[in-house]
């Protein structure tokens, strides 16, 4: 190859390399965005976080202890949460009402026994709709956590819908995200220590389908930071605990 040709090829390779660097800087891959977001989150030891008792993972890999107990307090109607965060939920509901938005709690604390009953009931419902027993169980466990692995069993989670939800629905569905309740919660839930626990884009991380109605108490400080980061609790917790 002639010297001029070598120079041209070298120049083209250099230009291509620079172009790739510029593109990736402006349009980073998901993994790079995650790394950047995690690096921007201060360590827990550097902060004065409230309600650290509530800052822990509950999922399939981190079940509650079999001897777990919780003191309960009423939030709305017959629904209860851990007595240490129930007041935050009541305040959130009251402030939403003051803004003209009625938040209707449809689930809160559930006993382990009730969790098992819900799971088995849903499996049977799927079987009746045409799924095999194996298919029904796999699908059900993506939507309903196993006993001891549900945030509801710990008294830290609320399911919230509209007052008239059951007039037009026979189940909880994604279109809750189109309601004024969801919009209000998206803007304000973190102020009371609650986060949208199972975001759509991280189903592969949480192991749970997108649930725009499910809110988990983690304390006001961490709720704000998690909302800012855009990350699910799994990523944030690993970075900060």
Question: For position 83, what pLDDT does the model report?
Answer: 98
pLDDT at 191 over 70: yes
pLDDT in tens, 135-183: 999 999 888 888 999 999 999 999 999 999 999 999 999 999 999 999 9
pLDDT in tens, 10-62: 555 544 544 544 444 443 444 454 455 445 555 555 567 899 999 999 998 99
Top pLDDT among 89 and 139 is at 89
Please tell me the pTM assigned to this model: 0.78
- The reported pLDDT for the residue numbered 45 is 52
Q: How far apart are CA 15 and CA 18, in angstroms?
A: 5
pLDDT tier at 207, thresholds 50, 70, 90: confident
Q: What confidence score (pLDDT) does residue 26 get? A: 41
For residues 104 and 76, give the distance between their C-alpha atoms in angstroms, rounded to a whole number. Answer: 8
Mean pLDDT of the chain: 86
How many other C-beta atoms lie within 10 A of the C-beta of residue 76? Answer: 18
The share of the chain scoring above pLDDT 90, in percent, equals 69
Q: What is the mean pLDDT of residues 56-72?
A: 93
Given the residues 120, 211, 228, 234, the one annotated as active site? 211
Closest to 153 in 3D by CA, of 203, 194, 190, 116: 116
Of the pLDDT bands very low, low, confident and very high (cuts 50, 70, 90), residue 2 is: low
42-56, 67-81, 95-109, 203-217: which has the minimum mean pLDDT? 42-56
Whole-angstrom Cα Rg for the chain: 23
CA–CA gap between residue 120 and residue 234 (Å, rounded): 27
Known active-site residue 211: yes
Which residues make Cβ contacts (< 8 Å) with residue 114, sequence separation at least 6? none
């Amino acid at each position: 190859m002639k010297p001029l040709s070598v120079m041209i090829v070298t120049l083209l390779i250099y230009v291509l390399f620079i172009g790739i660097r510029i593109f990736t800087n402006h349009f980073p891959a998901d993994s790079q965005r995650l790394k950047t977001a995690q690096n921007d989150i201060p360590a827990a030891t550097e902060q004065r976080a409230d309600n650290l008792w509530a800052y822990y993972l509950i999922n399939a890999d981190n079940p509650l202890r079999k001897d777990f107990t919780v003191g309960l307090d009423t939030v709305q109607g017959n629904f209860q949460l851990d007595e240490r965060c129930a007041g935050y939920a009541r305040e959130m509901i009251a402030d939403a009402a003051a803004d003209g938005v009625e938040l209707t709690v449809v689930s809160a604390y559930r006993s382990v026994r009730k969790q098992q009953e819900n799971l088995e009931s849903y499996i049977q419902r799927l079987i009746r709709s045409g799924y095999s027993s194996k298919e029904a169980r796999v699908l059900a466990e993506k939507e309903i956590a196993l006993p001891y692995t549900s945030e509801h069993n710990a008294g830290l989670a609320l399911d919230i819908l509209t007052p008239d939800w059951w007039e037009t629905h026979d189940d909880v569905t994604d279109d809750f995200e189109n309601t004024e309740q969801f919009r209000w919660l998206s803007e304000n839930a973190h102020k009371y220590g609650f986060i949208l626990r199972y975001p759509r884009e991280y189903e592969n991380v949480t192991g749970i389908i997108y649930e725009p109605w499910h809110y988990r108490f983690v304390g006001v400080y961490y709720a704000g930071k998690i909302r800012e980061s855009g990350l699910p609790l799994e990523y944030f917790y690993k970075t900060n605990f």
